[in-house]
Amino acid sequence: MFENLTVSEFFPTVVWVIDLKPEKFRPMNERMMRKIEEMLTPRPRLGPGEAWQTHQRLHELEEFAEFAACVRGAARGACDFLKIDYDPKSLVITGCWANIVPPGVSHVSHVHPNNYLSGVYYLKAAPGADRIGFTDPRPQASVIAPRPREPNRYNGQEAAMVAKEGRFILFPAWLRHGVPTNKSSEDRVSVAFNIMLSNYAERYAAPVWEPNVRG
């Protein structure tokens, strides 16, 4: 009946996963963990469902210098993959902080406004605390959503990715994401960060069209 059938995929949402080699991430993670523990000693008391967070300037600390270089390298790789016109020197880390999520606690779904890329890096992610979830950014997609016979990337509205030590997960800052309940017996420790193009206003914000009336 049909002569031909083709499938086109438009407007994909890209999430990058970058794993460091053990000889790279282990000593780096140890330095970062020592500094985080120092910053949180004694640990502030938490209310029900709360987690610990550090300040947002970790990338300015000496103990995080190597990590910050990795973040910038990952951001350059993402921009190169997207083939956007950018100056590598314009990629700046606008915020970088640690999240320590104790057993029984989750991290509510959210976005990171006013940034181009966001990401998370894992220092500790035991089984039961080794997932990050992403939500379909198209609000219309849930208006009519028949029950899938076989879940896949075409009919799902959520996607989960595996977290593990030494892993970066990088994504557009507008992509809604959250962390399910920590079902392990250990703290889940990650470092989140944001990336922005420092020269956005000068280079990109002006109109890209040409007028048809001069003067």
DSSP reduced 3-state for 67: helix
pLDDT tens-digit readout, 67-105: 999 999 999 999 999 999 999 999 999 999 999 999 999
Judge residue 194's burial from the number of C-beta atoms within 10 Å of its C-beta, 0-12 exposed, 13-18 middle, 19 or more buried. buried
In the predicted model, residues of the chain with pLDDT beneath 50 are none
| 107 sits in which H/E element | strand 107-110
Give the residue carrying structure tokens 């990952």: 74
Tell me phi and psi for residue 149, to 5 degrees: -75, -35
Alpha helices in 40-147 (DSSP H): 65-82
Q: What is the pLDDT of residue 214?
A: 63
Helix-helix angle 65-82:22-39, to 10 degrees: 120
135 Cβ contact list (under 8 Å, min separation 6): 109, 157, 158, 175, 176, 177, 178
With beta carbons less than 8 A apart as the criterion, state whether 171 and 118 touch: yes
Structure tokens at 45: 């008391």
Domain 16-42+49-137+155-198 has CATH 2.60.120.620: yes
Q: What is the pLDDT of residue 193?
A: 98
Mean residue pLDDT of the chain comes to 94
Structure tokens at 65: 């210098």
Length of the chain: 215
Q: Is the pTM of this model over 0.95?
A: no
Q: What is the pLDDT of residue 181?
A: 97
What percent of the chain stands above pLDDT 70? 99
Spatial distance between the Cα atoms of 78 and 165, rounded to a whole number of angstroms: 21
CA angle 27, 33, 35 (to 5 degrees): 110
pLDDT tens-digit readout, 146-168: 999 998 988 989 999 999 999 99
For the chain, the structural domain boundaries read 16-42+49-137+155-198
AA identity, residue 156: G
Q: What is the pLDDT of residue 206?
A: 84
Q: What is the pLDDT of residue 205?
A: 86
Spatial distance between the Cα atoms of 124 and 186, rounded to a whole number of angstroms: 9
- 131-145 burial, b at 16+ Cβ within 10 Å, e below that, comes to bbbbbbeeeeeeeee
